[in-house]
Amino acid sequence: MVAPLSSWPWDNFGIFKYLLYGPLLANGLYSLHVEGNITNNWCLHILFLCFLRVGVHIAWSSYSTMLFLTRNRRILQQGIDFKQIDMEWEWDNFLLLQALMGSLLVYLFPSLGYLPLWNAKGLIAVLILHVGVAEPLFYVLHRYVHTKHYLFTHYHSLHHSSPVPQSFTAGNGTVLEHLALSIVIGAPIVGTCLLGYGSTAIIFCYVLVFDFLRCLGLSNVEIVPHRLYEAIPVFKYLLYNPTYHTLHHTEKRANFCLFMPLFDAIGNTVDEKSWELHKEISSNAGKNGKVPDFVFLAHVVDVCSSMHSPFVSRFFASHPYVTRLFLLPAWPTTFIVMLVMWARSKTFLYSFYNLRKSLHQTWVVPRFGFQYFLPFAKDGINKHIEDAILRADKLGVKVISLAALNKNEALNGGGTLFVDKHPNLRVRVVHGNTLTAAVILHEVPKDVKEVFLTGATSKLGRAIALYLCRRKVRVLMLTLSKERFEKIQKEAPVDCQNYLVQVTKYQAARSCKTWIVGKWITPREQSWAPKGTHFHQFVVPPILAFRRDCTYGDLAPCACLTMSKALATASIR
């Protein structure tokens, strides 16, 4: 049986739960229309405050997932998995609850809707009430919940179920928890108003600082310098740090305070490792962490796909990428970021994962797909790639794989430029073409008798063509170079060479329903494909899905089996 107040009443509403904000919005807009004054429009104030609170949580989430800034400040080293993202999906339930509770308070006490914009005395009052009421109340309730098995397992365990604390973990709780937390956060606000010192600015500031400090403790990134505690020892009892609160999440037996470890010290519940661990993590912030065994050197595909990054929105990034119309308003801003990256950015750490105790990282060259086709950008891109290879070699990385356009033949000969220039590299530079070709070939149905291949004389095209001709599949290889075609044809077994056919125009594929695209094609060129054609592709950026009567494959994907013992790829040298 489900414990009372352990699930949210709008659990099954999905996105329709946001309709519960509707009455507030309608009332606020009506009041604005009638009175023409936003100062005392408490409905719009509540909505705007909720919007700002969402922004605080998203900003902290973005910062903590910017590994190029936080990689050496992380407290727990494991990554965030999809299970945790799913579990914290409805993290903002507490905002809706507190918005409704705030509305109820204003209806019960109408004077709260006519507060002045600012009252300086309210700042002192809210600080005193926070230290004297909110902090001890939270400490007592929090410690009590941890000592009562029923309360912890049925209510508080949900909050502790997130393996890696994040800003969104702050909202991952039950109704009962957030009712109690609403009393904690509301007590100083209501008390200040009852004393006659309340103001709109104090409410906004207190709530936003409250959320900011909660997100700080749950960020899993240590940003509080240990030298601050050494210079002002008493400060460590006035404000906690992320390490302090992370220890509470991992140990669950100490560090129960809200923001002030003073109350843990009074209650004798300070974890003895708190200060030493904080000093260790803070001291290591400027040092390199564990050296990755493998580095995947990627680049940005296009402006829209760049918004699919975890530090833009981890919820959006957890879904397969598709172009979403609601992101189009952000396109100009992202384009400006692209220009800044072009001018100033260096290759940066994007993501990581662990595979059988081996650390794998993705580094990103700060260039977008279209820039690889600009003649004047060639040298700059190669400089970024070369610097990344030399950095990996210096760190002691075992393998670095050039992804997508970073291994373009016209750019650097598939990576041979760097291997020839630096013959004494210890890191193995690979391109992964063999694996990509295998993924493409796996998707081609066994009963296919003819395919049309663009990018046919590239390394990938060559590998695909040679394999298919051995399967007795007729390969229409689109290329203007007879010399390069014949060179590939001679590599095929004698009895299979007649299955490789050179074509020079797209019209030659008017009756072929299997296209393997290794070179970008325009909608006009796609129009030569017959109805029902399937476009396989290994081209960056991916081709436009122009034909409604055809189907389009994604860029070559590969799932890593959980029981796999090793991953292999083709080496350049």
Residue 571 covered by a domain: no
> What sign has the CA pseudo-torsion 509, 512, 517, 522?
positive
Residue 423 covered by a domain: yes
| Average pLDDT in the chain | 93
For residue 413, what pLDDT band results from cuts at 50, 70 and 90? Answer: confident
pLDDT at 206 over 80: yes
**385 and 515 both lie in a single domain:** no
Residue 7 covered by a domain: no
Residue 151 covered by a domain: yes
pLDDT at 561 over 70: no
pLDDT in tens, 283-321: 988 787 889 999 999 999 989 889 999 999 888 888 888
Residue whose C-alpha is closest to residue 573's, from 426, 392, 430: 430
**221 and 317 both lie in a single domain:** no
What is the domain range of residue 453?
A: 435-555
pLDDT at 435 over 60: yes
pLDDT at 326 over 90: no
Residue 431: what pLDDT? 85
Residue 319: what pLDDT? 87
pLDDT in tens, 504-552: 999 999 999 999 999 989 999 999 999 999 999 988 778 989 999 999 9
In one-letter notation, the amino acid at residue 243 is T
pLDDT at 476 over 70: yes
**91 and 174 both lie in a single domain:** yes
Q: How far is the C-alpha of 141 from the C-alpha of 4, rounded, in Å?
A: 18
**144 and 47 both lie in a single domain:** yes
Choose the final residue of a domain: 261, 284, 307.
Answer: 284
Q: How far is the C-alpha of 536 from the C-alpha of 430, rounded, in Å?
A: 23
pLDDT at 557 over 70: no
Under 8 Å CB-to-CB from 121, ≥6 apart: which residues?
197
Cβ atoms within 10 Å, residue 227: 11
Which residue carries 């009590």 as its tokens?
144
pLDDT at 107 over 50: yes
- Domain of 500: which CATH number? 3.40.50.720
Sheet holding 514-517, edge to edge: 500-503, 474-478, 450-453, 514-517, 534-537, 551-555
Q: How far is the C-alpha of 373 from the C-alpha of 384, rounded, in Å?
A: 16
**202 and 256 both lie in a single domain:** yes
pLDDT in tens, 122-157: 999 999 999 999 999 999 999 999 999 999 999 999
Residue 562 covered by a domain: no
**316 and 386 both lie in a single domain:** yes
**59 and 38 both lie in a single domain:** yes
Residue 567 covered by a domain: no
Choose the final residue of a domain: 431, 449, 478.
Answer: 431
For residues 241, 245, 247 and 251, what is the CA-based torsion angle, rounded to 10 degrees?
160
pLDDT at 375 over 70: yes
**130 and 279 both lie in a single domain:** yes
pLDDT at 433 over 90: no
Spatial contact of 115 and 200, defined as CB atoms under 8 Å apart:
yes
Residue 404: what pLDDT? 82
Which strand (E) or helix (H) includes residue 457? none
Joined together, the tokens standing for residue 27 give 């009332």
Strands (E), 321-464: 348-355, 358-365, 399-402, 428-430, 450-453
Joined together, the tokens standing for residue 431 give 């391109």
Choose the final residue of a domain: 431, 461, 492.
Answer: 431
Residue 4 covered by a domain: no
For the residues 342-370, what does the mean pLDDT come to?
Answer: 93
Q: Would you call the peptide bond into 541 cis, given omega within 30 degrees of 0 as the criterion?
A: yes
For residue 327, what pLDDT band results from cuts at 50, 70 and 90? Answer: confident
Joined together, the tokens standing for residue 306 give 């760049």
**216 and 356 both lie in a single domain:** no
pLDDT at 564 over 50: no
Under 8 Å CB-to-CB from 544, ≥6 apart: which residues?
523
For residue 571, what pLDDT band results from cuts at 50, 70 and 90? Answer: very low
**136 and 220 both lie in a single domain:** yes
pLDDT at 231 over 80: yes
**198 and 302 both lie in a single domain:** no
pLDDT at 572 over 70: no
**CA dist list (Å): 11 to 14, 15, 89, 90, 172:** 7, 10, 11, 9, 13
pLDDT in tens, 161-189: 999 999 999 999 999 999 999 999 999 99
Angle at 78 between CA 72 and CA 83, to 5 degrees: 140
**70 and 151 both lie in a single domain:** yes
Name the region of 46 (left: φ>0; alpha: ψ -120 to 50; beta: rest).
Answer: alpha
Residues, the chain: 573
Helix segments in 79-134, DSSP class H:
82-87, 93-108, 120-129
For the residues 493-504, what does the mean pLDDT come to?
Answer: 96
pLDDT at 96 over 90: yes
Residue 443 covered by a domain: yes
Residue 558: what pLDDT? 57
Residue 287: what pLDDT? 80
Number of structural domains (the chain) is 3
